[in-house]
Structure 1
Amino acid sequence: MSSLSQLGRVHFLGMAGVGVSAIARLMLAEGVPVSGTDGKDLPVLREFRDAGVPVRVGYAEDNIRSVEEETGTTIDTVVASSVAKAGRNVEYDAAAAAGKRMLHRSEGLAACMSAKRGIAVAGTHGKTTTSSMTAVMLSAAGLEPSFAIGATVSGFGTNAQAGAGQWFVAEADESDGTLVNYCPEIAIVTNVEPDHLDHYASAEEFEQVFVTFVGNILPGGALVLCADDDGARSLGRKVAGGLESKGGSVLTYGFAADAGLRLSDHSDGADGQRFTLSCHDETAQVVLAAPGRHNALNAAAAVGAGLCAGMALSDAAEAVSSFAGSSRRFEKRGEIAGIRVIDDYAHHPTELAAVLSAARSAVGAGAVHAIFQPHLFTRTEAFAKEFGEELRRADTAAVLEIYPAREEPIEGVTAELLGHPVLQRQAAVDQAVRAAQPGDIILTLGAGDVTELGDDIVEGLRQARPAEGGAVDGP
């Protein structure tokens, strides 16, 4: 593993991406000279320009040489996103040919963590929220953590921060197997449910990457594991002996009766949720604004990490209660005439079920209207039936065409496989606006550009209900 002191001047490929931009922010804050390129001139690049960072838009063979000439220094290391790959990115290939040290994004993040005590959060679902909750908890307790998370954290206004404290919270991504590049002191695994089968050859290969990740926990470290998830339990059985042989430990959490950190007395409503956490002979209350049983589990995971980091249960429970949300995680985009517009990143059937269940709890006697955009042809092919079943939890549901991201179409794989009306974007907005009544929730769901519809829906509601004031109560 590289340390920051070994990297020299660092150039980033895919600098506007949420993961790469986080690492660039951290390195910049630590005094590392940085530069970068992205294929699009996105708003985040303005932040770096304002800080005096050399930024290029559009990949080119001579970008790195151009930056070196501009700064009068040599670029030593290139940190690349998962999209910027050898043979597929001319700037990457030119840097490699010039003998630059080439690191994947995850290796750059691991270098940022190397001087701190790491808490790495992994799992098929819930990583971003759990990472955010952990960072908020440590911050509220006065521990001034560093963090790098895949979404903007409410209260911080950023997805990455270099704190003065000893702890570093990182979201560890399993989608491309790079979570094995982290060596944390504390690891959280929220669940293990096969996904990303465009990258993994089998469910067994997917599960093995978590075994390897847990094997990287430092001697004397801890694994915080969800007792309510079968995949996580199976992982625990596989790795417990290895952890114990290195002086490590496992703390389970969940509603399960045998969980080491147990949730009980759970109530969920329009204003959030309350529950009790018990560990050994201690109990503490959590009052959480974020709705949904899945978020209660995420909060328990964060508290579990806090316990492993030496916090008292009461202090950790009080601190995690200050969590106000993360971008694209049940994020309120606006409210017109009592109709709430909520956006969520849910792009797997399990995530869809959790968000729709949370919406049902939050809406009370109202109705839930869902607009879902499938993400990736391979994921749609694998889970079309499950997506269709989960969307039946909504009172009305519309599906957009598949968001392809990095993939080429697969013959016969279309949004129609989900068994719900497939609408164009404006038609989906119009349908939701017509159907919604005061007290209802409209959800935009998916990992693609469906998030852009939130503002369109709010505006559509404002125009459709001028007699009711049309005032927007934003997030």
Structure 2
Amino acid sequence: MDKKNVHFMGVGGSGCSAAFALARHSGFEVSGCDLEKTSPYLDKKLTKLVQTGHSSSHLVGVDLLVYSPAIPLLDQANKELTSAQEKGIRTMPWEKFLAEYIIPGKFLIAVSGAHGKGTTTAMIAAILEKANFDPTCLVGAKVSSWGRNYRLGGSKYFVLEADEYKERFLVYRPDFAVITNIDYDHPDYFKNIESVKSAFSKFVNNLKPGSVLVNGPDVDLKNPNGQTKKLEVVENFDLKLPGNYNKLNASLAAIAARSLNIKEKIIKETLESFPGLARRFEFKGEEKGVLVFDDYAVHPKEISETLKATREKFPDRIIWLVFQPHTFSRLKVFFGDFVSVFEDSPVDKILLVDIFAARERNEGTISSSDLVTKIKKKEVRYISSLDETAAYIAKYTSVGNVIMTMGAGDIYKLPDMILKKLSNKS
């Protein structure tokens, strides 16, 4: 297909928004739509190309329909999607669009893993940027120094966060891959840890001839098509980012950079000045002496590591955690792990809000209040809505308290709500 008209559905999503922007910059005529016209991921300069809602009227003159995979999951009979198929318009998820139309001819560096892949991707891209490699990059979160979730480069290098969910990363054939770790997650698709390992094995088998694979310390996969490297010792970089997990991410990024013959000075300086990603231990503001942070963690292991880092950063302060579980299936499968993590967490107060359904439907079999009843040894409370939660925090917090909001749903809205209510507090 020549550079023709491409319409993006679900353009506000963390990945689809970046694919939309890269398509526009690559010379495609693009349009987009989503249920809401604004999104924390969507480039504000491109909102003029976005329509609200889904409609078959969006398909006039369209040659290719690219969609967020969440759309067919949530709405199998979506009129816009089914209408495109009936009209003979080719449809594909945004990952496949990248693989077919944007990545060919590029040197693809793909970073995957259960935890830390976004930060590691951005770290590698930042090092390449500093070393004048001028990479294109796509991350599933806004990179603080870019103010968006993508970077448009002019070279052959393309650095990509590759998502293992539903084995979506199998559309790519990387020249270079990093696997941070392998863990059981996404129980709505993967049945057990063995099925997760099988997916990563397929991903590694997709590597190109002459490729390089970098394994995290707990990953034991072998690249059948080239070199295999392994992180043996986590380096003690003096990072701006808290937590040992970020030192692991930085160490993997350093191995990748060295494999591309980038100088040690550039690697060290870039990593130690790296500002991080949005929603990854992100400082949102201070009001009335209360510090508010936000994080994307949803898996028990991620929650545990982030809360340890929070306590290390603030050893003597009262710490509040506000957690929004993400998907019913994840809470159900890891219920016991969530209970243990919260009971053992180094925080003082825990608030749980309603589960964010995402791609799932509420069957009434599990709730956040179920989790509250099982957590002992901690001051824990269930509050259903974000607005009520913000009001409660504003009422009961005091100078010096630290608030950490956490989850992958719409809880990203809560920090600003808290700060606003605190500012109105007399």
TM-score between both structures, scaled by the size of structure 2: 0.91
Structure 1 Cα separation of the partners of residues 279 and 14 of structure 2: 13
What is the CA-CA distance between 1:376 and the residue it aligns to? 0.6
Indicate yes or no: 2:166 matched with 1:176. yes
Indicate yes or no: 2:351 matched with 1:398. yes
What does residue 199 of structure 1 align with?
189
What is the SS of the residue equivalent to 1:24?
Answer: helix
What does residue 422 of structure 2 align with?
461
Runs of 4+ in 1 over 4 A off after TM superposition: none
What is the SS of the residue equivalent to 1:317?
Answer: helix
Aligned 8 A contact 2:241 2:276 in 1: yes
Out of 259, 263, 266, the position equivalent to 2:234 is: 263
What is the CA-CA distance between 1:391 and the residue it aligns to? 2.2
What is the CA-CA distance between 1:427 and the residue it aligns to? 4.2
Out of 79, 84, 90, the position equivalent to 2:79 is: 90
Q: How does 1:104-123 map to 2 (within 5 A)?
A: 104-110=93-99, 111-123=101-113
Out of 100, 116, 122, the position equivalent to 2:89 is: 100
Percent identity of paired positions between Structure 1 and Structure 2: 31
What is the CA-CA distance between 1:177 and the residue it aligns to? 1.5
Structure 2 Cα separation of the partners of residues 28 and 192 of structure 1: 34
What is the SS of the residue equivalent to 1:160?
Answer: strand
Structure 2 Cα separation of the partners of residues 440 and 347 of structure 1: 23
Q: How does 1:293-372 map to 2 (within 5 A)?
A: 293-372=244-323
Structure 2 Cα separation of the partners of residues 176 and 436 of structure 1: 41
Structure 2 Cα separation of the partners of residues 324 and 45 of structure 1: 20
Aligned 8 A contact 1:137 1:322 in 2: no
What is the CA-CA distance between 1:18 and the residue it aligns to? 2.1
Structure 2 Cα separation of the partners of residues 322 and 30 of structure 1: 30
Aligned length: 411
Indicate yes or no: 2:420 matched with 1:442. no
Out of 336, 342, 366, the position equivalent to 1:385 is: 336
Out of 41, 44, 47, the position equivalent to 2:45 is: 47
Amino acid at match of 1:454: P
What is the SS of the residue equivalent to 1:263?
Answer: coil
Indicate yes or no: 2:64 matched with 1:61. no
Aligned 8 A contact 2:130 2:266 in 1: no
What does residue 369 of structure 2 align with?
416
Indicate yes or no: 2:150 matched with 1:155. no
Aligned 8 A contact 2:328 2:366 in 1: yes
Q: Over residues 253-298 of structure 1, what are the superposed CA-to-partner deviations in whole Å (9 max), with x where a residue is unaligned?
A: 2xxxxx1xx225xxxxxxxxxx2xxxxxxxxxx3211111111111
What is the SS of the residue equivalent to 1:421?
Answer: strand
Q: How does 1:139-288 map to 2 (within 5 A)?
A: 139-227=129-217, 229=218, 232-233=219-220, 236=221, 240=222, 243=223, 245-246=224-225, 248-253=226-231, 259=232, 262-264=233-235, 275=236, 286-288=237-239
TM-score between both structures, scaled by the size of structure 1: 0.82
What is the SS of the residue equivalent to 1:177?
Answer: helix
Aligned 8 A contact 1:30 1:162 in 2: no
What is the CA-CA distance between 1:337 and the residue it aligns to? 4.6
What is the CA-CA distance between 1:437 and the residue it aligns to? 4.2
Amino acid at match of 1:79: V
What is the CA-CA distance between 1:200 and the residue it aligns to? 2.4
What does residue 134 of structure 1 align with?
124
Amino acid at match of 2:54: Y
Q: Over residues 427-454 of structure 1, what are the superposed CA-to-partner deviations in whole Å (9 max), with x where a residue is unaligned?
A: 4334434554444321001111112110
Amino acid at match of 1:83: A
The two structures, once aligned, show a CA RMSD in angstroms of 2.0
Q: Over residues 398-433 of structure 1, what are the superposed CA-to-partner deviations in whole Å (9 max), with x where a residue is unaligned?
A: 111111122112343111232342113344334434
What does residue 282 of structure 1 align with?
none
**Residues 336 and 79 of structure 1, relative CA distance in 2, 3 Å threshold:** same
What is the SS of the residue equivalent to 1:291?
Answer: coil
Aligned 8 A contact 2:21 2:43 in 1: no
Q: List alignment gaps of at least 5 residues for structure 1.
A: 69-74, 254-258, 265-274, 276-285, 467-475
Q: List alignment gaps of at least 5 residues for structure 2.
A: none
**Residues 59 and 431 of structure 1, relative CA distance in 2, 3 Å threshold:** closer
Amino acid at match of 1:152: K
Amino acid at match of 2:292: V
Out of 5, 20, 45, the position equivalent to 1:9 is: 5
Amino acid at match of 1:117: F
Aligned 8 A contact 1:138 1:319 in 2: no
Amino acid at match of 1:205: S
Structure 2 Cα separation of the partners of residues 34 and 176 of structure 1: 27
Structure 2 Cα separation of the partners of residues 11 and 160 of structure 1: 19
Structure 1 Cα separation of the partners of residues 9 and 276 of structure 2: 29
**Residues 92 and 189 of structure 1, relative CA distance in 2, 3 Å threshold:** same
**Residues 58 and 430 of structure 1, relative CA distance in 2, 3 Å threshold:** closer
Amino acid at match of 1:62: S
